[in-house]
Amino acid sequence: MLNYRGIAQSLIKAEKQKQAISCITDQHADFNLAMGYKVQQELVKLKIDSGHKVTAYKMGLTSRAKMEQMKIGVPIYGYILDYMNVPNKGQIIMEDFIHPKVEAEIAFILGEDIEGPGITGEQVLEKTQWILPALEIIDSRYENFRFQLPDVIADNTSASRVVMGSRLYRPQDFAVDSIEATMAINGEVRACGKSSAVLGNPANSVAMLSAMLHEEKKGKIKKGSVILTGGMTEAVVLKKGDHVITEYNQMGQVSFHIH
């Protein structure tokens, strides 16, 4: 019988000490997706017990670019906690990470509860109060950013930091599947993407999250919930001194410095 809490504690220790560990599937060949989510559940519970709060859901591996990069084809989900939030134009410290990468995303804020399978992207848009641009900084706790799908699920989908845009936008004012993002680092364009890269429309990512949570008997996604829908660009490696500015068409800029 696997010690899910023990594995979760080792991942939290790796995050705190900024010291990568070998992936779980190297030691446990039978470690599967369901086990990965059990470890994730323990990890999030430990963080809540230590005083942190969940502030958002996050979907992962929802874009073709990301799937190709990771050689994986199944979306996954995890959670953003309060200490991960960085203000727009804010600063982060390189020493707080192991091997960070950044990707551009669209975040949704629900105006109504959504629940269960069968909900469509169109229905999600009807129940969404706001959308906004975001940058997610991911940082796997595994050596050389190498892992199998159950490993990354256990590691709370590499969640590390999130920089949200400064303004909220009404989804009905946009073609939500046609939002473009251009990411420049130190003035050089490093990644471009379009929101349709996220399952055709980021709203489909929220619908898929709803179905996954229902299947696992984790209930509805409540009104006011924030959902990061997944990377619309590939993940770009960060280094000390980088100044990241991402321009979203009609949604302004999201930026941060890494010191």
Average pLDDT over residues 221-246: 97
Task: Give the architecture-level CATH label for domain 4-258.
Answer: Alpha-Beta Complex (3.90)
- Give the pLDDT score at 65: 63
Q: Is the pLDDT of residue 55 over 90?
A: yes
User: Given pLDDT bands bounded at 50, 70 and 90, which one contains residue 217?
Assistant: confident
Render pLDDT for 94-108 as a digit per residue (tens, 0 to 9): 999 999 999 999 999
CA distance 121 to 207: 6
CA dihedral for 115, 206, 134, 13, sign (positive or negative): positive
- Give the pLDDT score at 1: 81
Average pLDDT over residues 23-52: 96
* Alpha-helix residue ranges (DSSP H) falling in the chain: 4-17, 24-27, 33-49, 64-70, 121-126, 149-154, 202-215
Q: Is the pLDDT of residue 161 over 80?
A: yes
Residues 6+ away with beta carbon under 8 Å from 222? 110, 113
The dihedral region occupied by 163, where left means phi > 0, alpha psi between -120 and 50, and beta the remainder, is beta
User: Given pLDDT bands bounded at 50, 70 and 90, which one contains residue 210?
Assistant: very high
Question: What does pLDDT average to over the chain?
Answer: 95
Inter-residue contact 153 to 114 (CB < 8 Å): no
- Give the pLDDT score at 75: 83
Inter-residue contact 60 to 157 (CB < 8 Å): yes
- Give the pLDDT score at 165: 98
CA distance 154 to 94: 23
- Distances from the Cα of 107 to the Cα of 28, 176, 187, 203, 227, angstroms: 35, 11, 25, 10, 5
User: Given pLDDT bands bounded at 50, 70 and 90, which one contains residue 61?
Assistant: confident
Render pLDDT for 105-160 as a digit per residue (tens, 0 to 9): 999 999 999 998 889 999 999 999 999 999 999 999 999 988 989 999 999 999 99
CA distance 59 to 87: 21
